[in-house]
């Protein structure tokens, strides 16, 4: 400090040197200028170079302040009608997927499950009975067909036997006629002889009796022929009946089997219906326990113990903490070099510009104005061109580590910087290629 004061005093004690010009003589030329001009020029050149560099560097990224964290808000609602008996959460409470949120009185739904299971047991018993009747009916029908076939064969044999008996009866008639003729011829020969006493009266009477017996035998044989012919008709009727029964058995066999199979199929369908009712009843019973669909924070809770719920009634909203992304509305003039899988640096305003890494995954299908409730219609002739904005989706690439304390919330403002030059994410590019090469989904 003392040295500085002595230096200043020494500078003040030095006499100033002035150049005195005699009267009538021209002034001497000024002294050469210092290096200040070169310094100024150098500074200007440096500023121009710096400005050019920063402008050139700005072409490597595109950014916007019209961006925010986005996510799917899960509206939790009741799927059944019932009375609330328990509520396990409160507003702004953090929950995990599967945690119980509320519970509905399960008594009525448990009774419905028991009733459905009883109906299922009854349907299964009927199905067992119907399915057992199918082979039994099949056996009985086949037996009837076989038996009726045997009856036809037996009837045919009876007809043939009766026809043979008719032939035998006719033969006996012929034999009886021959005997009758012979005996009558004997009577005719004996008649003149008895009158001449050539033969005895007794012998003649015996011939007459033999002729009468032969005639009676002819009548009996003819009657037997009629009887045998009636037997043939009866056998033929039985044959026709047996043939009709056989044909009916053969014709009815597929129908009877189909009837039993249809009954078995109907019983099986009844079993499936009963099973569906059991599953529906169990589902309704499971719906009495309302669980969180995802990890998140409970918000807008409007259910309390004792409330009577209706199907579809909103109970609360789950704000996700992990399934998040960023929706950035870039100007249309910024999209010239943007493409999917480009790396993005995300700066969140709420936490002092905390940085997150991301990747551009989708570019919106239309501008924000076209997706608004009342899209513009410039048909009046007073059109003024306005730069439009396109929504762009940016996914976080390392959210589990970068947001380990779960500070991100849907709606937070974000400033994304998209690397439009040499900033393609390799993992994203591979996923896109796999998705393009994947076969189309089966409908």
**Residue ending a domain, choose from 286, 310, 339:** 286
48 found inside a domain: no
Instruction: Specify whether 353 is located in the same domain as 320.
Output: yes
**Residue ending a domain, choose from 247, 265, 286:** 286
Cα separation values, 128 from 122, 261, 264, 381, 435, Å:
10, 12, 8, 80, 50
pLDDT at 13: 46
Q: What is the DSSP string of 192-260?
A: HHHHTTSS-HHHHHHHHHHHHHHHHHHHHHHHHHHHHHHHHHHHHHHHHHHHHHHHHHHHHHHHHHHHH
Backbone angles phi, psi at 190, to 5 degrees: -80, -20
Q: Parallel, antiparallel, or unpaired: how do β-strands 414-419 and 343-348 relate?
A: antiparallel
How many degrees, rounded to 5, is the angle at CA 69 between CA 64 and CA 71?
Answer: 140
Tell me the CATH number at 255: 1.10.287.620
Instruction: Specify whether 112 is located in the same domain as 206.
Output: yes
344 found inside a domain: yes
Contact status, residue 63 vs residue 420, Cβ threshold 8 Å: no
Instruction: Specify whether 83 is located in the same domain as 156.
Output: no
23 found inside a domain: no
Spatial strand order of the sheet with 389-396 comes to 61-63, 414-419, 343-348, 354-363, 389-396, 324-331, 67-71
Backbone angles phi, psi at 398, to 5 degrees: -145, 50
Instruction: Specify whether 274 is located in the same domain as 393.
Output: no
42 found inside a domain: no
Largest CA distance in the chain: 234
pLDDT at 69: 94
Instruction: Specify whether 92 is located in the same domain as 175.
Output: no
**Residue ending a domain, choose from 263, 286, 309:** 286
For residue 14, count other CB atoms closer than 10 A to its CB: 7
Token pair 């989904």 in the structure block, residue: 441
Tell me the CATH number at 307: 2.40.30.170
Contact status, residue 184 vs residue 207, Cβ threshold 8 Å: no
Give CA–CA dist 151/242, Å, rounded: 6
If one counts the domains in the chain, the total is 2
Instruction: Specify whether 144 is located in the same domain as 220.
Output: yes
Full-model pTM:
0.61
List average pLDDT for each run of 10 residues in the chain, which is 443 residues long: 47 47 53 68 82 64 89 93 94 93 95 95 91 81 76 77 77 78 74 72 76 77 77 79 76 78 90 95 95 93 92 92 91 86 90 90 83 69 76 91 89 90 75 72 50
Residues 6+ apart with CB under 8 A from 229: 166
319 found inside a domain: yes
Instruction: Specify whether 207 is located in the same domain as 324.
Output: no
Nearest alpha carbon to residue 315 among 104, 35, 71:
104
56 found inside a domain: no
Which residue range forms the structural domain that includes residue 247?
108-286
pLDDT at 280: 95
12 found inside a domain: no
Nearest alpha carbon to residue 63 among 389, 426, 331:
331
Give CA–CA dist 159/74, Å, rounded: 89
Secondary-structure breakdown of the chain: helix, strand, coil percentages, each rounded to the nearest 5? 50, 20, 30
Q: For the chain, how many residues are written? A: 443
Contacts 24+ apart (CB under 8 A), 343-347: 343/418, 343/419, 343/423, 343/424, 343/425, 344/394, 344/416, 344/417, 344/418, 344/419, 345/416, 345/417, 345/419, 346/394, 346/396, 346/414, 346/415, 346/416, 346/417, 347/414, 347/415, 347/416, 347/417
Instruction: Specify whether 171 is located in the same domain as 98.
Output: no
Give CA–CA dist 430/62, Å, rounded: 24
Give CA–CA dist 358/394, Å, rounded: 6
441 found inside a domain: no
Instruction: Specify whether 209 is located in the same domain as 269.
Output: yes
Residues 6+ apart with CB under 8 A from 46: none
Contact status, residue 387 vs residue 323, Cβ threshold 8 Å: no
Contacts 24+ apart (CB under 8 A), 269-274: 270/123, 270/126, 270/127, 271/120, 271/123, 271/124, 271/127, 273/123, 274/116, 274/119, 274/120, 274/122, 274/123, 274/124
Residues 6+ apart with CB under 8 A from 198: none
pLDDT at 427: 80
Instruction: Specify whether 233 is located in the same domain as 303.
Output: no
């Amino acid at each position: 400090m003392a040295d500085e004061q002595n230096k200043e005093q020494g500078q003040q004690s030095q006499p100033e040197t002035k150049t005195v010009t005699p009267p009538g003589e021209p002034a001497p030329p000024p002294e050469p200028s210092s290096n200040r001009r070169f310094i100024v020029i150098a500074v200007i050149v440096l500023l121009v170079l710096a400005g050019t560099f920063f402008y050139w560097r700005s072409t490597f990224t595109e950014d916007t302040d019209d961006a925010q964290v986005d996510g799917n808000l899960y509206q939790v609602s009741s799927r059944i009608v019932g009375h609330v008996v328990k509520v396990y959460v409160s507003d702004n409470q953090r929950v995990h997927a599967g945690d119980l949120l509320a519970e509905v009185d399960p008594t009525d739904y448990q009774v419905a499950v028991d009733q459905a299971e009883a109906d299922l047991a009854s349907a299964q018993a009927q199905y067992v009975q119907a399915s057992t009747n199918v082979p039994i009916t099949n056996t009985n029908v086949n037996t009837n067909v076989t038996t009726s076939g045997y009856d036809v064969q037996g009837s045919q044999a009876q007809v043939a036997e009766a026809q043979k008996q008719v032939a035998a009866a006719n033969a006996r008639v012929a034999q009886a006629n021959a005997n009758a003729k012979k005996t009558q011829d004997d009577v005719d020969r004996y008649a003149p002889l008895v009158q001449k006493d050539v033969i005895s009266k007794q012998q003649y009477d015996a011939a007459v009796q033999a002729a009468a017996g032969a005639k009676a035998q002819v009548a009996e044989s003819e009657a037997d022929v009629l009887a045998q012919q009636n037997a043939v008709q009866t056998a033929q009727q039985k044959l026709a009946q047996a043939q009709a029964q056989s044909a009916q058995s053969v014709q009815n066999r597929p129908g009877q089997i189909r009837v039993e199979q249809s009954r078995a199929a109907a019983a099986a369908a009844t079993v499936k219906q009963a099973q569906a009712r059991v599953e529906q009843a169990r589902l309704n019973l499971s719906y009495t326990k309302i669980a969180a669909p995802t990890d998140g924070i409970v918000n807008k809770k409007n259910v309390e113990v004792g409330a009577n719920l209706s199907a579809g009634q909103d109970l609360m909203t789950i704000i996700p903490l992990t399934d998040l992304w960023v929706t950035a509305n870039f100007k249309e003039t910024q999209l010239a070099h943007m493409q999917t899988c480009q790396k993005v640096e995300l700066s969140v305003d709420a936490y002092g510009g905390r940085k997150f890494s991301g990747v551009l995954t989708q570019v919106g299908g239309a501008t924000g104005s076209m997706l608004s409730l009342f899209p513009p219609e410039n048909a009046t002739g007073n059109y003024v061109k306005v730069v439009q904005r396109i929504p762009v989706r940016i996914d976080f690439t390392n959210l589990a580590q970068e947001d380990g304390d779960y500070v991100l919330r849907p709606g937070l403002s974000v400033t994304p910087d998209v690397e439009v030059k040499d900033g393609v994410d390799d993992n994203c590019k591979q996923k896109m290629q796999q998705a393009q090469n994947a076969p189309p989904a089966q409908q």
